[in-house]
C-alpha cells in the first residue's frame, strides 16, 4: 500500500489534476456529513494558531483558496497579493488555506509556509493553518464548500492546488473556479469589487 501511494504521488506530480488526496486518505474513517448550516458558523485556525470565527466575515465578500509552496501554480500568490492590495479591507477578504493534498506540494510547517509566503511574495492577506480539502474527510470549511447538502447551492470538488471559492457578503456560496483561473481575472476582480 505504501508503494502504491508513493507511485500515485509521483504520477500526480507529473500529471497535474489527479486527486491524490482522495486516494491517500482512504484508510481513514469518513466523517459523517455535516448538516446544512451557515457559512458564519464555521471556524478555522490562522497560520499563527489563533482561533478564527467566520462570524467575523459577515458583510464581507470572501475568496477562499487552497495554496501550496511547490506547485506550478505557486506564482499565483503574487496575483492574490495584488488582488488583496487592490480590493482587500472592509468589504473583501482572501483566506489562503495551505494543503498538502495534491502531489505533496505543501510539506512545510505553518512557520515555514508563513516565511515562504512573506519572503517570496510579500503575502499580507490572511493565511490559515494547513488543512485537508477532501469533501467528505477534510476540514469543515472544505466540507461546507464542496457539498451542496451543506452550502445549499452546489457540489464542488477541489481538483488541485489553487482552486478558488467565492462567498458573498451574506455568506452565500457564489462560485468555484479551478486552478487555472487567474486571481486577477474579470470574474474574480468584479466579485472583489462588488460589481
Q: Which sequence positions are flagged as catalytic?
A: 71
Please give the full DSSP string across 93-140, using - where no structure is assigned: EEEEEE---STT---S-HHHHHHHHHHHH---SEEB------TTTS-H
**Residue 136 backbone phi and psi in degrees, to 5:** -110, -20
**Residue 85 backbone phi and psi in degrees, to 5:** -65, -35
Rounded Cα–Cα distance for residues 47 and 106 (Å): 14
Residues in the chain, how many? 195
Amino acid at each position: 500500500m505504501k508503494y502504491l501511494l508513493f507511485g500515485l504521488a509521483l504520477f500526480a506530480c507529473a500529471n497535474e489534476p489527479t486527486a491524490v488526496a482522495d486516494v491517500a486518505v482512504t484508510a481513514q474513517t469518513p466523517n459523517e456529513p455535516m448538516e446544512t448550516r451557515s457559512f458564519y458558523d464555521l471556524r478555522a485556525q490562522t497560520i499563527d494558531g489563533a482561533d478564527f470565527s467566520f462570524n467575523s466575515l459577515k458583510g464581507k465578500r470572501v475568496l477562499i483558496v487552497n495554496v501550496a509552496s511547490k506547485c506550478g501554480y505557486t506564482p499565483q500568490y503574487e496575483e492574490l497579493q495584488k488582488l488583496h492590495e487592490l480590493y482587500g479591507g472592509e468589504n473583501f477578504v482572501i483566506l489562503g488555506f495551505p494543503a498538502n493534498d495534491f502531489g505533496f506540494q505543501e510539506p512545510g510547517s505553518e512557520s515555514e509556509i508563513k516565511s515562504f509566503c512573506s519572503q517570496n511574495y510579500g503575502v499580507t492577506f490572511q493565511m490559515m493553518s494547513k488543512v485537508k480539502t477532501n469533501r467528505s474527510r477534510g476540514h469543515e470549511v472544505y466540507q461546507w464548500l464542496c457539498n451542496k447538502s451543506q452550502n445549499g447551492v452546489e457540489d464542488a470538488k477541489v481538483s488541485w492546488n489553487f482552486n478558488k471559492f467565492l462567498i458573498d457578503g451574506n455568506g452565500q456560496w457564489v462560485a468555484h473556479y479551478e486552478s487555472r483561473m487567474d486571481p486577477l481575472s474579470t470574474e474574480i476582480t468584479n466579485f472583489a469589487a462588488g460589481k
